[in-house]
Amino acid sequence: MEKTIEAYHIPAMLSECIEGLNIKPDGIYVDVTFGGGGHSKAILEKLGTNGRLYAFDQDHDAVQNLPDDERMVFINHNFKYIKEFLQYLKATPVDGILGDLGISSYQINEGEKGFAHRLEGNLDMRMDKQAKVSAANIINEYSERHLLRIFNQYGEIKNAFKLVKTILEHRKTRPIQTIQDFKQAIQNCIPGKEESKYLSQVFQALRIEVNGEMQALELVLQNCTNLLKKNGRLVILSYHSLEDRLVKNFINSGNTEGEVQKNEFGQINVPFKAITKKPMVPSEKEVFENKRARSAKLRIAEKI
């Protein structure tokens, strides 16, 4: 069944993102997370005949949302390749880059994709189905040390050691292949009153590892400095503290580590100016209408 943009994904903080891009009718813009196409459609509405939009999405299902608009070029790949594709297409430098991180409502609601702990399906979580490593591969094959890193770093799981030990013991007897298999295997690790929150953190950690999300975000941010024109805008929506910290560090220091660098005269050398000193958050009205926007944080910066 064909899905509308609204059914696929409701774009968070849409008006704030579009305003943050400060769109010029003849400008060149990049939407690194096309998804349901909501943000891209809004950008196209602001562009004139000579404006251009380049949109990335590694999920092949996103193709169903493409608008019939010759001003847009769709790139069905991970946004970590932004530099290579834009240079190949001779599209640099650009006037604005938008990223709506995380996963779409469509991906969460499709049980076969394995993103949601409340649904049944294979323990997959690959945004790109051609990728080799799934969540099941990680659970069944990763070492104790690697599993601890994932759940500590990406999920901030308080009982990560117990969780990993439980996984290791269970997989000795039989592989963990489905969401239900996994939930049953780790049942004694789940706090009684916080089951949904706990499983959300565990699934988030696996999803980030499967898709290399943090590494991809770092690459995009590092490339933005050279890809954006002077006064070009960087607009990033994040949904958890790990992402937001990287974006904040990059805007404030020019690198994802947050280490402020000085030139030979002792002057701080940063390539961006923060337009939003603190992250913007959705209104109460938007959160009421779109529950998945509740954790969104929007940061906007301008190339100096």
**Four-point Cα dihedral 148, 296, 130, 37, nearest 10:** 180
User: Please, which residues have CB within 8 angstroms of residue 127's CB and are 6 or more apart in sequence?
Assistant: 58, 59, 78, 103, 107, 211
Q: Could you give the CA distance from residue 49 to residue 27 in angstroms, rounded to a whole number? A: 10
Across the chain, which has 304 residues, the per-10-residue mean pLDDT values are 52 96 98 94 98 94 92 97 98 98 66 73 91 96 98 96 98 95 96 91 95 96 96 97 95 91 78 96 94 93 97
Residue 1 is predicted with a pLDDT of: 36
DSSP-assigned states of every residue in 157-214: -TTHHHHHHHHHHHHHHS---BHHHHHHHTGGGS-GGGHHHHHHHHHHHHHHHHHTHH
pLDDT at 4: 46
CA 202 to chain centre: 17
- What percent of the chain clears pLDDT 70, i.e. is strictly above it? 93
The structure tokens listed for 217 are 């975000």
- Res 161: pLDDT: 98
DSSP H helices, the chain, are: 5-8, 14-21, 38-46, 82-88, 105-109, 135-141, 144-153, 160-173, 179-185, 195-211, 213-227, 241-253, 284-289
Every domain range in the chain assigned CATH 3.40.50.150: 5-105+213-303
Whether residue 67 has a cis bond before it, omega within 30° of 0: no
Give the DSSP H/E element, type plus range, for residue 235.
strand 228-238
User: What is d(CA 184, CA 40) in angstroms, rounded to the nearest whole number?
Assistant: 40
Are 279 and 298 in contact, with CB atoms under 8 Å apart?
yes
Please say whether the beta carbons of 21 and 29 come within 8 A: yes
Cβ-contact 96, 21 below 8 angstroms: yes
The answer to whether residues 114 and 121 touch, using CB atoms and an 8 Å cutoff, is yes
pLDDT at res. 74: 98
Instruction: Give the CATH class of 5-105+213-303.
Output: alpha beta
Q: Which pLDDT belongs to residue 111?
A: 55
pLDDT value at residue 260: 83
What is the per-residue pLDDT for 119? 82
Contact 69, 45 (CB under 8 A): no
Distances (CA, A) of 279 to 116, 247, 266: 27, 10, 29
Q: Which residues contact 140 (CB under 8 A, 6 or more apart)?
A: 171, 175, 176
Q: How far apart are alpha carbons 212 and 219 in whole angstroms?
A: 11
Within the chain, which residue ranges are assigned CATH 1.10.150.170? 111-211
Token duo for residue 55: 């949109």
Rounded alpha-carbon distances, angstroms, from residue 3 to 10, 27, 105, 119: 12, 30, 12, 19
| DSSP summary character for residue 122 | B
Does the pTM exceed 0.75?
yes
Q: Could you tell me which CATH class the domain 111-211 is placed in? A: mainly alpha
Question: What's the full length of the chain, in residues?
Answer: 304
